[in-house]
Structure 1
Amino acid sequence: MSVNLSWLLNPFFADPAIQPTSIVVAVLLLYWALVALGTVELEFLDWNFELSVEADGGLLDIGLVPLRFLNLGTIPIMIWFTIFSVAAWVFSMLIHWEWAPTQPPGVVLAEACGLATLATKLITNPLRPVFDSPPPNLPETLIGQPCVVTSGRATNKGGEAHFATGQAPLILLIKSNSDEQLDRGQTAIITDYQVETNTYLVEAKNEETI
């Protein structure tokens, strides 16, 4: 005995005004179902979409402003696109069936996508703190932290040290902030950071250093 589901599927997949968004939502449902079952990894199709461009006033940076405004680059792309697609699907049904039934399918799709973009922006705003975490080990966060000299010695001319991160250590260019020489294996405290040379100023750790 076969079950005829055409009465359920036709309104979504046979109607030209609803069909595009219905297909996208169906594909996304399959994607998330496979993710839930462990068949597909979450990162599959979740492209690395970084917008961390220095704000130098260039044309590229200006062009990325709308994307940042929409939370693209902060919210993972597949989460953002899923919210957008479901919103566009809902709006296309509302426009076509309730608000403006006589509009052509192309106009319905364009209006639905426009409204969905705004809705996605509003929905993803509260999610920003969850995903918008600052990069770890920024220079200013290392000041006051200990490091271990790994070069033969470190003077006010230069040297090298390792900073423990819990994973692979950071290799730092260092200089003693005085005429004192630090020996290999000695623990030093980072006191400052020189942006121009990407160098950390350090001093020997002693009883007075916290």
Structure 2
Amino acid sequence: MGEFFAASLGFPVAVLSVLLVVVVAYWLLVAFGAADADWVELDIGGVPATLGLSLLIAVSWFACLAGVELLGPTSTPARLGVLGGSLVVGLVLTRFAMTPLKRLFPEDPPASRLDFVGRPCVIRTGRVTRTFGQAEVTAADGSSAVVQVRQPGEDPLTAGTTALIFDYDVDGEFFWVASLDFGHDPTLTRGDH
């Protein structure tokens, strides 16, 4: 066991040992909920960067340790060559490992107009009819868009009214909306009942 630690703490393996300790500490923090697994918002070949970097460091560390042990005591330039070679081996093997791992991290589907269906919107035109109208809708990510809307009925949908998007007409490229104010007729006042 002493030889293992001596090799792990000797040059050039020590360079990667420090990085490996950081990776292990990070994943322990993730396991106990003290850190977020999305440490770096980056994709490497379809796999989160934290996983890709962790694999690269672990594989490179092992390759460097094996290279130093196979070569035995050598000069500093040879050890630098082992470090460089281990990084290349780490890159190649990590890339091969990431190909099957991509299936575990499916890509988010692209944004679609159908994402607005089922969302409330605020009417931005003076009225909405069967042939005219616009509304502002907020997407799940917080962004907003002004979209073309139509209504099948005669609800009093005017500027500032909140409506519900319930369908999308692909041919006409507009959304069908309905009033969210059920049972209330704004033309009536309390004394008109």
Q: TM-score, normalised by structure 2?
A: 0.65
Q: Distance in 2 between matches of 1:85 and 1:193?
A: 52
Query: How far 1:94 sits from its partner (Å)?
Result: 2.4
2:165–2:175 contact (8 Å) kept in structure 1 = no
Q: Residue deviations 1:125-179, cap 9 Å, x none? A: 112132232246x125448x455552153365641154786xx88744222479x
C-alpha spacing 1:193/1:24, structure 2 compared with 1 (3 Å): farther
- Unmatched 5+ residue regions in structure 2? 179-193
The residue type equivalent to 1:139 in the other structure is S
Aligned to 1:62: none
Task: Tell me, in whole angstroms, the C-alpha distance in 1 between the residues paired with 2:90 and 2:134.
Answer: 55
Q: What corresponds to 1:84 in structure 2?
A: 56
Structure 1 residues 35, 7: closer, same or farther in 2, change over 3 A? same
Instruction: Say if 1:154 and 1:81 are closer, same or farther in 2 by CA, change over 3 A.
Output: same
Of all paired residues, the percent bearing the same amino acid is 14
Answer whether contact 2:167 2:175 (CA < 8 A) is retained.
yes
- Corresponding residue number in structure 2 for 1:26: 21
Larger radius of gyration: 2
Matched, 1:12 2:19: no
| d(CA) in 2 for partners of 1:193, 1:162 | 20
SS of residue paired to 1:133? coil
Shift of 1:96: 2.3
RMSD: 3.7
Give distance in 2, aligned partners of 1:25 and 1:41. Answer: 17
Q: Distance in 1 between matches of 2:21 and 2:139?
A: 47
Aligned length: 167
Alpha-carbon distance between aligned partners in 2 of 1:8 and 1:82, rounded to the nearest angstrom: 21
Relative to structure 1, the CA distance from residue 154 to residue 130 in structure 2 (aligned partners, 3 Å threshold; closer, same or farther) is farther
Q: Distance in 1 between matches of 2:168 and 2:95?
A: 41
Counterparts in 2 of 1:181 and 1:171: CA distance versus 1, 3 Å:
farther
- Identify if the C-alpha distance between structure 1 residues 203 and 32 changes in structure 2 by more than 3 Å, giving closer, same or farther: closer
Q: Distance in 2 between matches of 1:95 and 1:26?
A: 20
Letter in 1 for 2:127: R
The residue that corresponds to 2:183 in the other structure is: none
Are 1:42 and 2:36 counterparts? yes
Structure 1 residues 189, 30: CA separation in 2 closer, same or farther (over 3 Å shift)? closer
Alignment partners' CA distance in 2, 1:92 and 1:6? 18
**Partners of 1:35 and 1:187 in 2: CA distance:** 40
Q: 1:25 to 1:187 in 2, by over 3 A?
A: closer
2: CA distance, partners of 1:32 / 1:125: 21
Query: Which structure 1 segments of 5+ residues have no match?
Result: 51-69, 195-199, 206-210
